[in-house]
Protein backbone atom coordinates (compact mmCIF):
# COMPACT_ATOMS: atom_id res chain seq x y z
CA UNK A 1 0.00 0.00 0.00
CA UNK A 2 1.23 3.51 -0.76
CA UNK A 3 1.47 6.00 2.12
CA UNK A 4 -0.86 8.18 0.05
CA UNK A 5 -3.54 5.47 0.29
CA UNK A 6 -3.17 5.38 4.08
CA UNK A 7 -3.84 9.11 4.13
CA UNK A 8 -6.92 8.62 1.96
CA UNK A 9 -8.30 5.69 3.96
CA UNK A 10 -7.94 7.61 7.22
CA UNK A 11 -8.92 10.94 5.73
CA UNK A 12 -5.69 12.19 7.23
CA UNK A 13 -3.78 15.42 6.82
CA UNK A 14 -0.13 15.25 5.69
CA UNK A 15 2.42 17.25 7.71
CA UNK A 16 5.83 16.22 6.34
CA UNK A 17 7.66 14.63 3.42
CA UNK A 18 5.02 15.11 0.72
CA UNK A 19 7.56 13.67 -1.72
CA UNK A 20 7.36 10.31 0.08
CA UNK A 21 3.65 9.71 -0.33
CA UNK A 22 4.19 7.22 -3.13
CA UNK A 23 6.52 5.06 -1.03
CA UNK A 24 5.21 1.52 -0.56
CA UNK A 25 4.65 0.08 2.91
CA UNK A 26 3.53 -3.42 3.82
CA UNK A 27 2.92 -3.59 7.55
CA UNK A 28 2.13 -1.45 10.58
CA UNK A 29 2.06 -1.48 14.36
CA UNK A 30 0.17 0.58 16.91
CA UNK A 31 1.16 1.68 20.40
CA UNK A 32 1.31 4.61 22.77
CA UNK A 33 4.25 3.15 24.65
CA UNK A 34 7.54 3.69 22.87
CA UNK A 35 9.45 0.93 24.64
CA UNK A 36 6.82 -1.55 23.48
CA UNK A 37 7.47 -0.50 19.92
CA UNK A 38 11.21 -0.82 20.49
CA UNK A 39 10.76 -4.25 22.07
CA UNK A 40 8.29 -6.01 19.83
CA UNK A 41 8.32 -4.46 16.39
CA UNK A 42 10.24 -5.94 13.50
CA UNK A 43 9.98 -4.42 10.06
CA UNK A 44 6.73 -2.54 10.29
CA UNK A 45 7.09 0.70 8.36
CA UNK A 46 4.10 2.47 9.85
CA UNK A 47 3.55 3.47 13.49
CA UNK A 48 0.01 4.34 14.52
CA UNK A 49 0.06 6.26 17.79
CA UNK A 50 -1.81 8.68 19.99
CA UNK A 51 1.52 9.94 21.24
CA UNK A 52 2.22 13.33 19.75
CA UNK A 53 5.76 14.34 20.76
CA UNK A 54 9.29 14.31 19.32
CA UNK A 55 9.97 10.91 20.89
CA UNK A 56 7.35 9.30 18.67
CA UNK A 57 9.43 10.50 15.70
CA UNK A 58 12.68 9.40 17.35
CA UNK A 59 11.23 5.94 17.93
CA UNK A 60 10.18 5.74 14.29
CA UNK A 61 13.71 6.78 13.27
CA UNK A 62 15.36 4.10 15.43
CA UNK A 63 13.09 1.45 13.87
CA UNK A 64 13.68 2.64 10.28
CA UNK A 65 9.98 3.41 9.89
CA UNK A 66 8.57 5.54 7.08
CA UNK A 67 5.34 6.91 8.43
CA UNK A 68 3.83 8.05 11.74
CA UNK A 69 0.05 8.12 11.87
CA UNK A 70 -1.28 10.31 14.67
CA UNK A 71 -4.80 9.46 15.77
CA UNK A 72 -7.44 11.43 17.70
CA UNK A 73 -6.82 14.74 15.88
CA UNK A 74 -3.32 15.23 17.23
CA UNK A 75 -1.47 18.01 15.43
CA UNK A 76 2.34 17.66 15.29
CA UNK A 77 4.49 20.49 16.63
CA UNK A 78 6.97 22.33 14.41
CA UNK A 79 9.80 20.50 16.22
CA UNK A 80 8.26 17.17 15.26
CA UNK A 81 7.78 18.22 11.66
CA UNK A 82 11.39 19.41 11.37
CA UNK A 83 12.71 16.16 12.85
CA UNK A 84 10.49 14.06 10.59
CA UNK A 85 11.49 16.07 7.53
CA UNK A 86 15.21 15.50 8.30
CA UNK A 87 14.66 11.77 8.64
CA UNK A 88 12.28 11.23 5.74
CA UNK A 89 9.32 10.25 7.86
CA UNK A 90 5.81 11.13 6.73
CA UNK A 91 3.55 12.42 9.51
CA UNK A 92 -0.17 11.89 9.00
CA UNK A 93 -2.89 13.06 11.34
CA UNK A 94 -6.35 11.53 11.41
CA UNK A 95 -9.50 12.35 13.36
CA UNK A 96 -10.11 8.65 13.94
CA UNK A 97 -9.40 6.91 17.20
CA UNK A 98 -6.79 4.19 17.42
CA UNK A 99 -9.08 1.17 17.08
CA UNK A 100 -10.97 2.57 14.12
CA UNK A 101 -7.81 3.68 12.32
CA UNK A 102 -6.16 0.29 12.76
CA UNK A 103 -9.33 -1.53 11.74
CA UNK A 104 -9.67 0.37 8.51
CA UNK A 105 -6.02 -0.10 7.57
CA UNK A 106 -6.17 -3.82 8.37
CA UNK A 107 -9.35 -4.19 6.33
CA UNK A 108 -7.67 -2.50 3.37
CA UNK A 109 -4.75 -4.91 3.48
CA UNK A 110 -2.05 -3.39 5.66
CA UNK A 111 -0.48 -6.28 7.59
CA UNK A 112 0.50 -6.65 11.23
CA UNK A 113 3.87 -8.10 10.25
CA UNK A 114 6.09 -10.18 12.47
CA UNK A 115 6.34 -9.42 16.12
CA UNK A 116 9.89 -9.72 17.30
CA UNK A 117 13.16 -8.28 16.15
CA UNK A 118 15.51 -11.14 16.92
CA UNK B 1 38.74 0.86 10.08
CA UNK B 2 41.67 -0.34 12.17
CA UNK B 3 41.50 2.19 14.95
CA UNK B 4 38.33 2.78 16.86
CA UNK B 5 36.23 5.74 15.90
CA UNK B 6 35.42 7.56 19.12
CA UNK B 7 32.37 9.76 19.70
CA UNK B 8 31.24 11.56 22.85
CA UNK B 9 27.92 13.13 23.68
CA UNK B 10 26.47 15.14 26.52
CA UNK B 11 22.90 14.06 27.16
CA UNK B 12 20.75 16.78 28.64
CA UNK B 13 18.43 15.80 31.48
CA UNK B 14 14.67 16.24 31.09
CA UNK B 15 14.99 17.63 27.57
CA UNK B 16 12.51 15.63 25.52
CA UNK B 17 13.26 17.35 22.26
CA UNK B 18 16.97 16.53 22.13
CA UNK B 19 16.53 13.11 23.79
CA UNK B 20 17.63 10.53 21.26
CA UNK B 21 19.85 12.80 19.20
CA UNK B 22 23.04 11.03 20.31
CA UNK B 23 21.60 7.64 19.33
CA UNK B 24 20.43 9.13 16.06
CA UNK B 25 23.93 10.36 15.25
CA UNK B 26 25.52 7.02 16.10
CA UNK B 27 22.92 5.28 13.94
CA UNK B 28 23.69 7.54 10.98
CA UNK B 29 27.43 7.11 11.42
CA UNK B 30 27.13 3.30 11.40
CA UNK B 31 24.91 3.46 8.35
CA UNK B 32 27.52 5.56 6.51
CA UNK B 33 30.19 3.04 7.52
CA UNK B 34 28.14 0.39 5.73
CA UNK B 35 27.16 -1.67 8.78
CA UNK B 36 24.25 -4.05 8.15
CA UNK B 37 20.82 -2.51 8.77
CA UNK B 38 19.83 -5.16 11.32
CA UNK B 39 22.93 -4.49 13.43
CA UNK B 40 22.48 -0.74 13.13
CA UNK B 41 18.96 -1.06 14.44
CA UNK B 42 20.02 -3.15 17.45
CA UNK B 43 22.60 -0.49 18.31
CA UNK B 44 20.06 2.29 17.81
CA UNK B 45 17.45 0.70 20.09
CA UNK B 46 19.86 -0.26 22.86
CA UNK B 47 21.53 3.14 22.94
CA UNK B 48 18.26 5.06 22.61
CA UNK B 49 16.75 3.24 25.61
CA UNK B 50 19.85 4.07 27.66
CA UNK B 51 19.88 7.66 26.48
CA UNK B 52 16.21 8.11 27.35
CA UNK B 53 16.81 6.60 30.79
CA UNK B 54 19.51 9.18 31.48
CA UNK B 55 17.14 11.94 30.33
CA UNK B 56 14.22 10.69 32.44
CA UNK B 57 15.72 9.07 35.52
CA UNK B 58 19.17 10.62 35.99
CA UNK B 59 18.97 14.29 35.02
CA UNK B 60 21.26 13.66 32.04
CA UNK B 61 24.69 12.13 31.58
CA UNK B 62 27.38 11.31 29.06
CA UNK B 63 27.67 8.80 26.26
CA UNK B 64 31.04 7.45 25.10
CA UNK B 65 30.98 5.42 21.91
CA UNK B 66 33.78 3.44 20.30
CA UNK B 67 33.24 1.87 16.92
CA UNK B 68 35.49 -0.98 15.88
CA UNK B 69 35.53 -2.97 12.64
CA UNK B 70 33.33 -5.73 14.01
CA UNK B 71 31.58 -4.28 17.06
CA UNK B 72 30.59 -1.16 18.94
CA UNK B 73 31.09 -0.28 22.60
CA UNK B 74 28.69 2.16 24.22
CA UNK B 75 29.22 3.55 27.72
CA UNK B 76 26.38 5.56 29.26
CA UNK B 77 27.46 7.26 32.47
CA UNK B 78 25.41 9.50 34.71
CA UNK B 79 25.77 11.00 38.17
CA UNK B 80 22.06 10.70 38.91
CA UNK B 81 20.24 9.16 41.83
CA UNK B 82 21.31 5.59 41.08
CA UNK B 83 19.23 2.41 41.14
CA UNK B 84 18.29 0.84 44.46
CA UNK B 85 17.60 -2.72 43.31
CA UNK B 86 19.27 -3.44 39.97
CA UNK B 87 17.81 -6.96 39.62
CA UNK B 88 14.32 -5.54 40.07
CA UNK B 89 14.95 -2.66 37.66
CA UNK B 90 16.06 -5.11 34.98
CA UNK B 91 12.77 -7.02 35.14
CA UNK B 92 10.37 -6.43 32.27
CA UNK B 93 7.52 -4.20 33.38
CA UNK B 94 9.25 -2.66 36.40
CA UNK B 95 9.22 1.12 36.34
CA UNK B 96 9.31 4.00 38.77
CA UNK B 97 8.33 6.51 36.07
CA UNK B 98 5.76 9.01 37.33
CA UNK B 99 2.48 9.85 35.61
CA UNK B 100 3.87 12.72 33.52
CA UNK B 101 6.53 10.42 32.05
CA UNK B 102 3.89 7.80 31.17
CA UNK B 103 2.07 10.50 29.23
CA UNK B 104 5.22 10.94 27.13
CA UNK B 105 5.11 7.29 26.07
CA UNK B 106 7.73 5.99 28.50
CA UNK B 107 7.57 3.99 31.70
CA UNK B 108 6.63 0.56 30.33
CA UNK B 109 9.59 -0.85 32.21
CA UNK B 110 10.98 -2.27 28.99
CA UNK B 111 14.09 -0.13 28.57
CA UNK B 112 16.65 -2.20 30.47
CA UNK B 113 15.19 -5.51 29.16
CA UNK B 114 15.47 -4.09 25.63
CA UNK B 115 19.10 -3.08 26.19
CA UNK B 116 19.91 -6.58 27.43
CA UNK B 117 18.00 -8.18 24.55
CA UNK B 118 19.67 -6.18 21.79
CA UNK B 119 23.23 -6.08 23.10
CA UNK B 120 25.72 -8.94 23.02
CA UNK B 121 27.47 -7.91 26.25
CA UNK B 122 25.80 -5.83 28.94
CA UNK B 123 27.04 -4.49 32.26
CA UNK B 124 25.40 -2.18 34.76
CA UNK B 125 26.97 -0.54 37.79
CA UNK B 126 24.89 1.67 40.02
CA UNK B 127 25.35 3.28 43.40
CA UNK B 128 22.62 5.15 45.21
CA UNK B 129 23.36 8.86 45.26
CA UNK B 130 26.37 8.49 42.94
CA UNK B 131 25.01 7.40 39.61
CA UNK B 132 24.73 4.66 37.05
CA UNK B 133 27.09 3.41 34.35
CA UNK B 134 25.94 1.04 31.66
CA UNK B 135 28.34 -0.61 29.23
CA UNK B 136 27.03 -2.36 26.15
CA UNK B 137 28.82 -4.07 23.29
CA UNK B 138 27.11 -5.10 20.10
CA UNK B 139 28.68 -7.29 17.43
CA UNK B 140 27.90 -6.30 13.87
CA UNK B 141 27.92 -9.78 12.40
CA UNK B 142 25.99 -11.66 15.06
CA UNK B 143 22.57 -13.30 14.58
N1 LIG C 1 20.11 5.88 34.54
C2 LIG C 1 19.24 5.61 35.53
N3 LIG C 1 19.29 6.29 36.71
C4 LIG C 1 18.42 6.00 37.73
N5 LIG C 1 17.44 5.09 37.64
C6 LIG C 1 17.34 4.38 36.48
C7 LIG C 1 18.21 4.61 35.38
N8 LIG C 1 17.86 3.75 34.39
C9 LIG C 1 16.81 3.05 34.86
N10 LIG C 1 16.48 3.41 36.12
C11 LIG C 1 15.44 2.82 36.99
O12 LIG C 1 15.11 1.53 36.51
C13 LIG C 1 13.73 1.46 36.16
C14 LIG C 1 13.53 0.56 34.95
O15 LIG C 1 14.15 1.15 33.78
P16 LIG C 1 13.60 0.78 32.34
O17 LIG C 1 14.34 1.56 31.32
O18 LIG C 1 13.63 -0.71 32.20
O19 LIG C 1 12.07 1.20 32.40
P20 LIG C 1 11.47 2.68 32.34
O21 LIG C 1 12.51 3.66 31.92
O22 LIG C 1 10.81 2.95 33.64
O23 LIG C 1 10.35 2.52 31.22
P24 LIG C 1 10.61 2.40 29.62
O25 LIG C 1 12.09 2.24 29.42
O26 LIG C 1 9.85 1.20 29.19
O27 LIG C 1 10.09 3.64 29.02
C28 LIG C 1 13.29 2.89 35.94
O29 LIG C 1 11.91 3.08 36.13
C30 LIG C 1 14.14 3.61 37.00
O31 LIG C 1 13.58 3.49 38.28
MG1 LIG D 1 13.63 3.31 30.21
Domains of chain B: 5-139 (3.30.565.10)
Say which residues have a Cβ less than 8 Å from residue A103's Cβ, sequence separation at least 6.
none
pLDDT higher at A103 or A39 = A103
User: In this model, does residue B88 exceed pLDDT 70?
Assistant: yes
Query: Would residue A96 be called left, alpha or beta, if left means φ above 0 and alpha means ψ between -120 and 50 degrees?
Result: beta
pLDDT in tens, B30-61: 999 999 999 999 999 999 999 999 999 999 99
Q: Give pLDDT, residue A43.
A: 87
The DSSP code for B130 is: T
CA–CA gap between residue B24 and residue B11 (Å, rounded): 12
Q: How far is CA A72 from CA A76, B6, B38, in A?
A: 12, 43, 33
Chain B residues within 8 angstroms (CB to CB) of chain A: 16-17, 19-20, 23-24, 27, 37, 41-42, 44-45, 48-49, 52, 104-111, 113-114, 117-118, 143
Per the CB < 8 A criterion, the answer to whether A17 and A85 are in contact is yes
Per the CB < 8 A criterion, the answer to whether A36 and A63 are in contact is no
Q: Work out the minimum CA distance from A2 to partner chain B, whole angstroms.
A: 23
CA–CA gap between residue B136 and residue B116 (Å, rounded): 8
Nearest to A70 by CA among A57, A51, A55, A87: A51
CA–CA gap between residue B39 and residue B142 (Å, rounded): 8
Per the CB < 8 A criterion, the answer to whether B108 and A35 are in contact is yes
Q: How far apart are the first and last CA of chain A?
A: 26
pTM higher than 0.90: yes
CA–CA gap between residue B14 and residue B16 (Å, rounded): 6
Per the CB < 8 A criterion, the answer to whether A23 and A66 are in contact is yes
**Of 3.40.718.10, 3.10.520.10, 3.40.50.1820, 3.40.1390.20, which CATH number belongs to A3-110?**
3.40.1390.20
Q: Give pLDDT, residue B142.
A: 65
Q: For residue B75, how far is its CA from the centre of ligand 2 (angstroms)?
A: 16
> Within 13 Å and on the Cβ side, how many CA atoms surround B134?
29
Number of neighbouring beta carbons within 10 Å of residue A22: 9
Domain ranges of chain A: 3-110
Per the CB < 8 A criterion, the answer to whether B79 and B130 are in contact is yes
Q: For residue A1, how far is its CA from the centre of ligand 1 (angstroms)?
A: 37
Per the CB < 8 A criterion, the answer to whether B8 and B64 are in contact is yes
Nearest to B48 by CA among B68, B21, B72: B21
Split at pLDDT 50, 70, 90, the class of B2 is low
Q: Is A111 helix (H, G, I), strand (E, B) or coil?
A: strand
User: Average pLDDT, whole number, for chain A?
Assistant: 94
Amino acid sequence: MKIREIAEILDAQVYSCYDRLDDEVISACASDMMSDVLAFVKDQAVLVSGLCNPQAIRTAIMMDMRCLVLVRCKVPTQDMITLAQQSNIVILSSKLRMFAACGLLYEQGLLPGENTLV
Amino acid sequence: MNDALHLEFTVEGNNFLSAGSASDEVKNTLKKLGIKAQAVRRVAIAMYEGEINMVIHAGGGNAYVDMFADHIKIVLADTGKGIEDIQLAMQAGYSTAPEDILALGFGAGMGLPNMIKYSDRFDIQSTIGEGTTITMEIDFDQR
